[in-house]
Chain A
Amino acid sequence: MSRQRSARSAALGLTVRRLPTTSQARGAGPLRRRLVVGALVLASLVLISLSFRADGSGPLGGVQSAGATVLRPFAVGFERVAQPFRDVYAWADSLLSAQSEADALRDEVRELRQRAIQSEFALQENVYLRELLDYIDGPRFPADFDPVAAEVIGRPTGAFTQAITIAVGAKNGVRANDPVVTADGLVGVVTRVTSGTARVQLLTDEEAAASAIDLRTGATGIVRHARGTRETLVLDRVRKQDVVRRGNEIVTAGWRAGALSSLYPKGIPIGRVTSVGQTDTDLFQQVQIDPYVDFGALDAVIVLVPQERE
């Protein structure tokens, strides 16, 4: 049937005519459109498949690493330009929540908290060493690590992944699984490394976990994200007979079992217990933690690089 066809509308008694369109629109246009979008979707799927299977290694990993290296100066440049605006935003945000008054006190609390943790651990270890002479298999201290300071150049881009990109990489000695901290406490772990950048999985990511211990009572568990929120963490797998009290400090456990050891060194602050609950049906206690680190305002972090890699 001809495109120029006319028809009479039965309802309105009007004649309507389909207007001619350009040959490009009716001919090559739709085909070209389908080809282009089909090719792009296919390219995306191929990239996803290769990238997912390679997981940062192989030829595609090299391409990604090269791309990241090329884009790094732009990211750093944009970061520098954006910093004043971010500062203004952070300032307004802190003004609204009255945090500006707490800044001076927070520094003091941070220092005292670190001292208290160190003292508490020293005391515990003293007692432990007297009772157990085979302490040699015990966890190691962060003294075995070298700090590498890093600027944050990329932040979580969506609701799916809680990860940041930092401006240090393999050439700075950083490797996958190196722990990342700030002066406040534990941030996460390095999951991917290029020569000049690295991706850090935050502790608030759905797939992140860290073995942790209640500093006062010695109750152990696994710190994970709290479902449905980014602001809180939970201490999972705490047995019902263990004692955990509101206000207690949670730090990394830093366990060691033969050749295996925790990714995180012992004694890094994680947060403070805000609530403890348990039900008859649950096997474990429900412990909620308020993290010391503000994961939404990370400007710089410290990567803990082991002095001796195994």
Chain B
Amino acid sequence: MKERPRTQDFDWTLLAIVGAISTIGLLEIYSSTHASGMAGMQWKQSMWIGIGIIGMFLISRIDYHTLLDQAPVLYVFGIVSLLVVLVMGLSRLGAKRWIPLFGGFDLQVSEIMKLIIIIVLARYLSEVHTDRLTLQDLAKIALITLVPVGLILKQPDLGTAMVLVPVAVVGAFLAGIEWKHAAIGLLALAIMIPIAWGMRNHLKPYQQQRIQTFLHPEEDQRGAGYQILQSEIAVGSGGFWGKGFGKGSQNQLGFVPVRYSDFILASLAEEQGFIGICVVLLLYLGLILRLVDNAQKAKDKAGMYVVMGVTAIVGFHVLVNSAMVIGFMPVTGIPLPLMSYGGSAISFVFLSLGLVMNVRMRRFVN
């Protein structure tokens, strides 16, 4: 039994996987942008990773029990921040998602909300004393989750809003959802989808278009369907071995949309082939399994819920992003964790990893 948590107790295997994925991401960002006017993006991304690592250490120092103690405060803070964004946030491309910070940086509040929902749900679920969730519990979980989901949808940001849901779903599953409740939930979902389809005319035009595009990509050659098609062409033309580093025509000539960010996996698939994709997806699988392993070894349920909240979000990102790149899912603007270029997304991943380390290094502490 150790007296106090030590940095040596970080999960270095997990961090090695994170380092490998981040490095591949940096190389692909370099490959995608070096010959364009955006050259040098990999340095900016490195800086974000550095900041993220510092944040990871800082957040690992604060005992997660302390964080969970403050869950109601954090939740209120998160909701208010989302309201502030809606009222006075920065508008870009028709969406209000950012609050201007000092030094020209803008904060994407919904990324913070991801961390908050992990902590709030971990707190709530660890207060459930049995290993059976009542309908009342489920309703509360749904309420806690759907309030921020609704606010983020209003921005509008369908992708980030969706990302909060798996935290609740995985949490409810681990807390002991009854099979009949789960079945009813799935049934409700099955009924909701056609109803939602009937209501699609109430969606924002960009959402309608994305759904339309997903269903009929060939109809809109230069629009969003064009993006999916170009992504598929990039992936498919890469073949088994890939075209080589910096040699993907779809990537280098700009046919792949946002090739350094949301579609970075398409760039990688084109240049490194199926082999490269295998390496990357297996690294992500290793990451997820390692996270689950940390959850299994957590000292208490609270720690487990925190780690599994992180796992749910990271896993959902990887799944939805990869599926989009190969045309299995519509374009939702969900980045690939650790690889896609972007400060907010990188910061979120490292801060959430800080939560994981936080739980891990306290597993032997009394």
Chains A and B come from one and the same complex:
no
Could you tell me which A residues sit within 8 Å of B by CB distance?
Answer: none
